[in-house]
Structures are given as C-alpha cells and as structure tokens.
Chain A
Amino acid sequence: MNTIKVTINNTSYDVPANASILEVCKQVGVEILTMCHLKGITDIGACRLCLVEVEGVNKLLPSCTTKVVPNMIIYTETEKLKRYQRITTELFFAERNHMCAVCVANGQCELQELGYKVGLDAIRYPHLFPQCEVDTSHPWYVIDHNRCIMCTRCVRVCNEVEGAHNWDVMGRGHQVRIISDFNTPWGESITCTSCGKCLHACPTGAIWPKAIVQGQLNKNPGMITELVEKRCMKL
C-alpha cells in the first residue's frame, strides 16, 4: 500500500494514501467528533462536526469527505474548531425537541455523548420547538421526528446496505423531514423490509423498537460496519 507523510497536530505520521482525514486520524489515535459518519456507509459531510483546519486552506474542511494528500498539515484541536463544535452541538439541541430524561436512548445516545464531550451546559440559541410527528404505524418500530437530527444515516443504510430505500428526505431548510415512501405512514410502506438496520444506525432515539421503555434502548451501530466489512471479504 502506498504511504504518504502528513502532519497532524504537529506530529508527523506515515499514513496510507487515498484515505480520508477522518480514517487517518482514527488510525493514529487522534479523536475527531462525528455524527453523520458511520463506517460502512457513504460519508456526506453533513453534520459539520468533523471539521479540521488544513494549512494553506482558508476554510474548514470536513475530515470525512476530504482525502489526505502528501505533506498535508492538519490541525484538529484548535480553539476555533472547539468553538465551532460547541456551536454545532448547541444548534442540534435547539433545532428539535430533545428531552433526554424521557428518551428511550437516554445513556445510549450519540448526541447526548457529544454534549458531554464538548462540555455543553447551556444552549445560547432560542429553541425552535417545531411541531413534529411520532409515527407508530409500523408493527415493531417507531420513528419520532422530535429526536431526529437529520444525519440521514438511516436513509443511507436503507439505501446502501439493505437496498430498500424506504427512507428519504423531504423538503428543505429547517422544514426537512425523514419520509417513508410518499410521505406515507411507515406501517403502510411498500418498500420497507422491516430489517431494523435504521434503528441501529440512528445516533439518537429517533427510531426505536416498540416495547422498549425509557433508557432501555440497546443499539449496535457497529453491526452495520461489521455487515459491510463481511460482505466485502474475499471468501
């Protein structure tokens, strides 16, 4: 494998060429916050949490969709980045109705974890408190749009791993919603195979199985990564 030299936070590393900055950082043990990234599905750079500074580029680059190039000088822990990560996290919480205390994903939630990591103690932005639906029409699962952060991991997992493409995104701006088929109830979907991969991919408590009570959710997003890796293996 071709290797190239890059500098991350003033330390030089030999890393594989043709990898994303995020992959490289993971490999050498530099932590980068992510939300819309899930190993195994396409990266889209939507959450803006994995932004890094690269010397010679005057804008912040999403590390998941930026490939490393030889002699790249990358910074992941600058004050500017920390400030932006904090802002992004606050906006996640202000956009919809996130109530951890009554959520099925309490303690199992990537958004909650992110809040702890950036040291969130208050949200400086006015909450939008939008009217969101809770769709309980599916016999086994529920989708609660109040807790959705529009990472579209469910959309990508349904399309790329399951191949059903039951989910997609409707509208634009802050009015975007995850939809099933023609914005019809999930239970009436003609494409959903009820495989349940979307609820494992969901970073928050927006999709969960029925018969689960507050804080009892047991999610395994790594299962999706494992599934994709095993499919790619040469047997």
Chain B
Amino acid sequence: MNVSVPLHEVDLPKSDPRVKLLAAKIKKEKYQPDALIEILHTAQNSYGYLPMNVLRYIARELKLPPSRVYSTVTFYHFFSLKSKGDHTCLVCTGTACYVKGAQQILAKIEEHFGLVPGQVSADGKLGIAAARCIGACGLAPAVVVDDEVQSMPQPEKIVSSIQEKLQAV
C-alpha cells in the first residue's frame, strides 16, 4: 500500500462488522479528538491489533494529525501494530509462576508449536506472549489462553488446552 495516500482517499469496507462497530463508537464519542484512546481501544478489541488503514481512518474521522495518532499508539503497551494471532496464549513468568514451572510450560509450547514469546505462527492463528505478573499468583503457574485464566500445574496440559481453542473456531 502506498503510504502517502491522502487521508480522504482512505476507506474501509463498509460491510465489515468491525468497521461498523468502529464507526458507531466514533459517532457515539461525537467525533471528539480527545476520545482517541477510547476509540483505539474499540478498534484494538475488534481487530486484535491496529492495522495501518484503521489508524488512517481514525485520524481522518477525528481530524487528528497522523503523527499524533501514531505517537499515542506507540506510547501505550496495550496497543499493538502487529497481529498478536487469532488465538493467544500468555504465560505468566512472575516470581510465583516462575518457581512453579513457567519455564517448563514455555518449553512445552516451543517444543510443540515452535514458538517463543513474542512470536506468531506463520498462519497467524496462534500468538505466544509472556508477562511478568498477571496478579493471579494463587493459581501459579498461571496462563491466559484467549482471555481465560487457567492454572497449569502440569506443563503437558498446555498443548491440549491451546489445541482446544484452535479447533473451536
């Protein structure tokens, strides 16, 4: 895609339900530029990440300079410019989970899926991430598979847990 397309020539497919959701959110916020973060949240939740054409669309709709939108996106760790995968598995590597064997879980994932934290599988189906502490130390070792917090005392079980999610959709 040519990067220097004027903003008014950027259009998202109107039939896409994600675009409808985003457009509704922008309308609800009355096109206020200060609602940028809320709108980015909506976009990130429906797309899983923030594609460039969506950023262009938001910049145009809110009449914000493109650099302002991009700087906001890169400042907050929550926002991602790259796809995190259709399904995600977040392994907690905080102190409690580390002691209880987070490394073995990560090793199992790498052995079976060939992915290390920060990587997304070639087909974009599965993304692996690691976090310091998710605040669920009571469940240690904890993993989050598709927003579902699970306790994973037996590292082998992570594979079936992920596969279950991959096969669901």
Contact = CB atoms under 8 A, between A and B. Distances in A.
Contact of B70 (A164, A181, A185, A190): A181
A180 to B, nearest CB: 7
A191 B65 contact: yes
Given A182-B52, A182-B55, A191-B65, A168 B4 contact: no
Q: By DSSP majority rule, is chain B's interface helix, strand, loop, or mixed?
A: helix
Given A182-B52, A182-B55, A182-B56, A188 B68 contact: no
Contact of B7 (A164, A170, A180, A190): A190
B4 A190 contact: yes
A168 B65 CA distance: 9
B167 interface: no
A181 B71 CA distance: 9
A181 B67 contact: yes
B66 interface: yes
A170 B3 contact: no
Contacts of B68: 165, 168
A180 B67 contact: yes
B49 to A, nearest CB: 15
Contact of B67 (A165, A172, A188): A165
Interface string B50-78: 00100110000000011111110011000
Contacts, number: 55
Interface in A161-178: 164-172
A190 B67 contact: no
Which of A166, A170, A185 has the largest number of chain B CB atoms within 10 A? A170
Contacts of B7: 190
Contacts of B6: 190
26 contacts: A159-B65, A165-B65, A165-B67, A165-B68, A166-B65, A166-B67, A168-B65, A168-B68, A168-B71, A170-B70, A171-B74, A172-B75, A179-B67, A181-B65, A181-B66, A181-B67, A182-B52, A182-B55, A182-B56, A182-B66, A183-B70, A183-B74, A188-B4, A190-B66, A191-B65, A191-B66
Interface of A: 159, 164-172, 179-185, 188-191
Given A168-B67, A172-B74, 13 more contacts: A159-B65, A164-B65, A170-B70, A170-B75, A181-B65, A181-B67, A183-B70, A184-B4, A188-B3, A189-B4, A190-B4, A190-B5, A190-B7
